């Protein structure tokens, strides 16, 4: 799976794509995009309660069903009058793109069940991407080693790959949308 850095960068990229024609950027809306782009990893929290942080990871929160629920909640949070369906679809998409990124990274999956249940509740089958694009993220297996286990050369390399993938389109979109706005 990509690191939180990769998921945040993806949220920023989606924000820039969706809002490229707006006259100004909104930090609060960008924050919502980022929040929903990392939200599926909330499944680490109950794992900490049972002293096995990865126990629930890539389970129920990494599914199409969870994305639909999160999209509905996101739409209720944003409360744009007459835009409920559009906002629901938007936040479902942002959330689900996290799941898709984890699917793309599943070629490096080393823990059962291998892959991601992309289409749950319609299918319980787990899918793995055939080609490795992202590196897996190493972390500790217990509450005491989870965070410290994140700081290693392998994860640094994984983040560097994510930066090389996501930063160029982010910079280009920002640059061209900013200069277009200046010309208008």
pLDDT digits (tens, 9 = 90+) for 99-150: 999 999 887 776 777 889 999 999 999 998 999 899 888 888 899 999 998 9
Using CA atoms, how far apart are residues 73 and 85, in angstroms rounded to an integer?
Answer: 11
Confidence of residue 78 (pLDDT cuts 50, 70, 90): confident
Q: Which residues contact 158 (CB under 8 A, 6 or more apart)?
A: 2, 3, 6, 134, 135, 136, 137
Q: What is the pTM of this model?
A: 0.90
Q: Is the pLDDT of residue 184 over 60?
A: no
The predicted structure's pLDDT at residue 164:
97
Helix (H, G, I), strand (E, B) or coil at 29: helix
Closest CA to 7 of 99, 78, 85: 99
Burial environment of residue 93 by CB neighbours within 10 A (0 to 12, 13 to 18, 19 or more): middle
pLDDT per residue over 34-69, tens digit each?
Answer: 999 999 999 999 999 999 998 888 889 999 999 999
Domain range list for the chain: 4-183
How far apart (Å, rounded) are the C-alpha atoms in residues 164 and 9?
A: 11
- In this predicted structure, what is the pLDDT of residue 112? 72
Distance CA 65, CA 15 (A): 22
């Amino acid at each position: 799976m990509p690191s939180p850095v990769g998921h945040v960068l993806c949220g920023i990229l989606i924000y820039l794509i969706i809002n490229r024609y707006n006259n100004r950027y909104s930090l609060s809306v960008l924050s919502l995009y980022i929040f929903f782009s990392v939200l599926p990893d909330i499944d680490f929290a109950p794992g900490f309660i049972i002293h096995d942080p990865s126990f629930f990871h890539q389970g129920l929160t990494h599914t199409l069903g969870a994305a639909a629920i999160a999209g509905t909640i996101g739409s209720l949070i944003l409360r744009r009058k007459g835009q409920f369906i559009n906002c629901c679809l938007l936040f479902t998409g942002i959330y689900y793109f996290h799941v898709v990124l984890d699917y793309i990274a599943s070629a490096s999956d080393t823990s059962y069940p291998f892959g991601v249940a992309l289409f749950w509740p319609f299918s319980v089958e787990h899918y793995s991407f055939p080609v490795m694009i992202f590196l897996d993220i190493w972390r500790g297996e217990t509450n005491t080693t989870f965070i410290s286990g994140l700081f290693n050369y392998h994860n640094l390399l994984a983040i560097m790959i994510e930066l090389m993938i996501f930063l160029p389109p982010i910079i280009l979109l920002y640059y061209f949308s900013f200069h277009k706005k200046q010309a208008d």
